[in-house]
Structure 1
Amino acid sequence: MGIAELLSVARRAFAGVVVAMSVAVGVVAAAPATQAADVESLSCVGNGANTYQPGVTAQPRVVSINSSANYDSCVSNGSPTITAGGYAITANGLVSCLGGGVSITVTITWNTGETTTVAAVGLVVLRPANEVVVVYQGTVTAGRFTGAAVLMTAALLNTTPAQCLTPEGVTGTSGPANITITQLA
């Protein structure tokens, strides 16, 4: 399978995640007015990138992950001034080219200057088209949206899958990233 085909498959897989999240947000938005007033949600899409040291191989090992995301399109039913945000962190996790897990604490800085600190646990899964799907679930521990539930997802394309079989391993991935924050009032 060529790079163009891999990208096409990765885009379709990520589109499925976006549709599922959109349906979930749509259900909240379609709730009766009395219920909708009690729930604030913020959904953002953008791009993420990770670098790995040492590189990720077929064998699980502890890896330092430099991760960043830029959310360039945010929509909220309670915070319309928040339209973009981003973060950059370093975390350690036990990962391989087949999967793994990572715990993170990340502070997102929004376009308004406000910040949101999230503590989350992530599951890393390699999908058939060589995209690394990362799903983090957690809670806002400080700043804007304190106490809210958080779901962060990324579909990071591994453009060098053969590197999994080398001692150097895969040293970087990038692709679409989303975040949804849901807070009960």
Structure 2
Amino acid sequence: MSRVASFFAAVLITVASVPLVATGTAGAAGLDLTCTPPSSASLLFDPPATNSPQNMTLTVSRQYGPCVSATHPDITSGRSTATGATTGATCLSLLGANALTITITWNTGQTSVLSGNNVSSLSGVTLTVVTTGTVTSGVFAGATFVHTIVYPSTNILLCNLGLGSLSGLYGQVVLEIITP
């Protein structure tokens, strides 16, 4: 995978093009934390992405909440942001798989560092990014996680067809942290 595609996938984080539904409740079968919509993510492209390679700055912001945790009931929300520059990026750079690290700052001031691999796929006008891995430090260290973002946008398809540009994506997030 190209460096550009890896960067896009790393900045994106984000299962199917169906409504997101949590698969359980906190505390059930090792599920320790669940954050569900209206948890959200935004991904902004400057300048807007096209199907022609160009340099751009990417900014991703994620808001988690409501969150419910069996072992840390004081954690009810969190946030994560990242900005980076890339060269030769196109709309198709959104697709692929790569390694990813996400640092979440919780409403308590504590942090969790999630390290794993993500896979981005396009189905019609919906980009889905699923990241799985391990919490490597901070709160929930040693647990595994599934982080899913679904970005619906007709501009994704139009951009890939060369019929428009893509200035940003807005989607819903589901985060599940599973303790061993």
Normalised to the residue count of structure 1, the TM-score between the two structures is: 0.71
Correspondence for 2:110: 114
Change (3 A) 1:40 1:176: closer
Unaligned segments of structure 2, at least 5 residues: 1-15
The residue type equivalent to 1:78 in the other structure is T
Mapped contact 1:62–1:94 kept (Cα < 8 A): no
1:42 aligns with 2:33: yes
2:172 to 173, 176, 183: 176
Shift of 1:145: 0.8
Mapped contact 1:56–1:97 kept (Cα < 8 A): no
In 1: Cα distance, 2:116 partner to 2:176 partner: 13
Correspondence for 1:144: 139
Relative contact order, CA 8 A, sep 6+: which one is greater? Answer: 2
Unaligned segments of structure 1, at least 5 residues: 1-11, 32-38
Shift of 1:110: 0.5
In 2: Cα distance, 1:104 partner to 1:157 partner: 22
1:165 aligns with 2:158: no
Shift of 1:57: 4.9
Mapped contact 1:57–1:165 kept (Cα < 8 A): no
In 1: Cα distance, 2:96 partner to 2:56 partner: 10
The residue type equivalent to 2:111 in the other structure is T
- Determine what percentage of the aligned residue pairs are the same residue: 29
Report which stretch shifted further, 89-98 or 136-145: 89-98
Aligned pair count? 159
More helix by share: 1
Correspondence for 1:78: 71
Normalised to the residue count of structure 2, the TM-score between the two structures is: 0.73
Q: CA RMSD for the aligned pairs?
A: 3.2
Report which stretch shifted further, 79-88 or 150-159: 150-159
Shift of 1:13: 3.6
Correspondence for 1:89: 82
Larger radius of gyration: 1
